Amino acid sequence: MTPRYAHSNAPDGGTRLWRIDDGKVTHWRDTSYEAYISTQPWNFDAEGNSLHMTSSVTHDKSALLSINWSTGDERVLFASDRADVTGAIFNTRTLEPEAVCIDPGRQEWTALAPAVAGELDLIKARLPDDAFHVESQSDDGRRWIVAGHAPDQPVTYHLLDRDKQTLTELFTARPELKPYRLAPMQEVQGKSRDGLTLVSYLTLPADIDGDRPPRPLPMVLIVHGGPWGRDIYGYRRDHQWLADRGYAVLSVNYRGSTGFGKAFVAASEKEHARKMHDDLIDMVDWAIAEGIAQKDKVAIFGLSYGGLASFVGATFTPGVFCCSVPVVGISNLQTLLESMPPYWAGFAEFMYRSYGDPRTEEGRKLLAERSPINKVDNIKKPMLIFHGANDVRCKIAESDSIAAAMQAKNIPVTYIVYPDEGHGFQRPPNQLSHLAIAEAFFARHLGGACEPVGEDFKGSSHEVRAGADILSDLGVA
């Protein structure tokens, strides 16, 4: 395989793209900070003459382009003013894109080639509520493996036979869930206080008919990580778990989330613990106004950036949430940026521009102002912290420091550490114990159901470094 292009980081936090022709590397173009997230080369056609890439350089929403590698001429193959292009189906022989998808709230596929229009219609007819992708194709492109998932159905794989026009289910990732009634999900939209559309997803307990509960429920706000990622419509095991325990569950695509255009991402620049957090509060207020959530029974829960948001919720808006559960979160923005792992080195300028520059006095002041560790005195409600000891992205010192500060001020905290985990929990026994402890915590402060721990701690490495009384709620001494 011969490389044709490469990328590095540009001084403004954007991307520098390079051409590689006959082994010679030359500067090709730069992508600005604003367009960094949504501009990506994808592949060449089979002849190696045209590069396909998504680009938001001249668009707010990323478009699918074809670029003649010899002349530099560009053609827009598909663009939408509603959302970024996020996926494609390619012809197996020509490697030309034949269909593209966007996701303004629910996934939408558009045929670029008439030859696949019937196949898309067949999939949509058979899997009307599913988000789907073509995972692989036969060499001649006549058979596709289609992976689809709906809110009440984990990922399920199908064989599409284009000649027979049949779609046959092969297997599902969680067949044991088939007998159960799972909860549906709603795409909902609200407005931020400065006018942005906030695409969000709401799950209610499965036994509730309709899109609103008969009376307000305790609610868990789950904040996605990144922040340069997004929530989507589809199966979410965390939504199903918490809805089954009696909670409304809300996930918000706050500013900085991807898929909604470069302006939406750029609107998050240096807005941590400010407008990014305001977006979450605005959707909590929406849920209360809609009769979905009990005002005094809303929890905030998230991993990584979602962990930062949970710390921010407890320290910057302590009257909004009745409890918080930060997982591998960030409590000090300056130490986060000063201790980035080596493989983030090229990413540093983007991070400095996004959060604040720790190399300058102004930047350090901003980072200190927005860091939860400096507002521990504001914490009024219970907190449950989880962290993996081997985390190299958000180091354990982020949780150690705020837990210690809370203990020094006699502010109640429960702190759980997994010595054999990193940025998130991978071992199944650790995942089970994490959920069991979180479930007991939510039950204590939100009032939902809580299962006995049973075998959920078997093989788990968890260490309770503060607040061991939570285990009594699980019947564990």
| For residue 235, pLDDT beyond 80 | yes
- What's the pLDDT score for residue 110? 97
Distance CA 27, CA 7 (A): 9
Distance CA 391, CA 396 (A): 6
Residue 323 and residue 445 in one domain: yes
State mean pLDDT over 339-362: 90
- What's the pLDDT score for residue 371? 98
- What's the pLDDT score for residue 11? 81
- What's the pLDDT score for residue 342? 87
For the purposes of burial, counting CB atoms within 10 Å of the CB of 83, is it exposed (0-12), middle (13-18) or buried (19 or more)? buried
Query: Which residues carry out catalysis?
Result: 304, 391, 423
Choosing from 46, 80, 114, the residue where a domain stops is: 80
Distance CA 77, CA 83 (A): 15
The answer to whether the beta carbons of residues 355 and 270 sit under 8 Å apart is: yes
Full-model pTM: 0.96
Choosing from 80, 99, 130, the residue where a domain stops is: 80
- Does residue 163 belong to any structural domain of this protein? no
- Does residue 227 belong to any structural domain of this protein? yes
pLDDT digits (tens, 9 = 90+) for 97-151: 999 999 999 999 999 999 999 999 999 999 988 899 999 999 999 999 999 999 9
State mean pLDDT over 241-251: 98
Choosing from 80, 105, 133, the residue where a domain stops is: 80
pLDDT digits (tens, 9 = 90+) for 40-67: 999 999 999 999 999 999 999 999 999 9
- What's the pLDDT score for residue 12? 81
| For residue 474, pLDDT beyond 80 | no
pLDDT digits (tens, 9 = 90+) for 173-194: 999 999 999 999 999 999 999 9
- What's the pLDDT score for residue 306? 98
- Does residue 120 belong to any structural domain of this protein? no
- What's the pLDDT score for residue 229? 96
pLDDT digits (tens, 9 = 90+) for 367-380: 999 999 999 999 99
- Does residue 234 belong to any structural domain of this protein? yes
- Does residue 354 belong to any structural domain of this protein? no
Spell out the residues 6+ positions from residue 184 whose beta carbon is closer than 8 angstroms to its own.
Answer: 151, 152, 203, 204, 206
- Does residue 406 belong to any structural domain of this protein? yes
Report the mean per-residue pLDDT for the chain.
95
Question: How many beta carbons lie within 10 A of that of residue 388, not counting itself?
Answer: 25
Question: How many beta carbons lie within 10 A of that of residue 355, not counting itself?
Answer: 22
- Domain range spanning residue 26? 1-80
The answer to whether the beta carbons of residues 24 and 2 sit under 8 Å apart is: no
| For residue 13, pLDDT beyond 90 | no
CATH code of 228's domain: 3.40.50.1820
- Does residue 462 belong to any structural domain of this protein? yes
Question: With pLDDT > 90 as the criterion, what percentage of the chain qualifies?
Answer: 88
pLDDT digits (tens, 9 = 90+) for 147-168: 999 999 999 999 999 999 999 9
Spell out the residues 6+ positions from residue 140 whose beta carbon is closer than 8 angstroms to its own.
Answer: 92, 93
- Does residue 134 belong to any structural domain of this protein? no
Instruction: Beginning with the edge strand found earlier in the chain, give each strand of the sheet holding 74-78 in spatial order.
Output: 40-44, 50-55, 63-68, 74-78
Distance CA 17, CA 31 (A): 8
For the record, the structure tokens of 467 come out as: 């607040």
Question: With pLDDT > 70 as the criterion, what percentage of the chain qualifies?
Answer: 100
Q: How confident is the model at residue 477 (pLDDT cuts 50, 70, 90)?
A: low
| For residue 452, pLDDT beyond 60 | yes
Number of domains composing the chain:
2
Question: Which residues, in sequence order, are bridge partners of residue 217?
Answer: 293
Distance CA 19, CA 29 (A): 9
For the record, the structure tokens of 34 come out as: 């604003």
Q: Specify the higher pLDDT residue, 297 or 8.
A: 297
State mean pLDDT over 452-462: 93
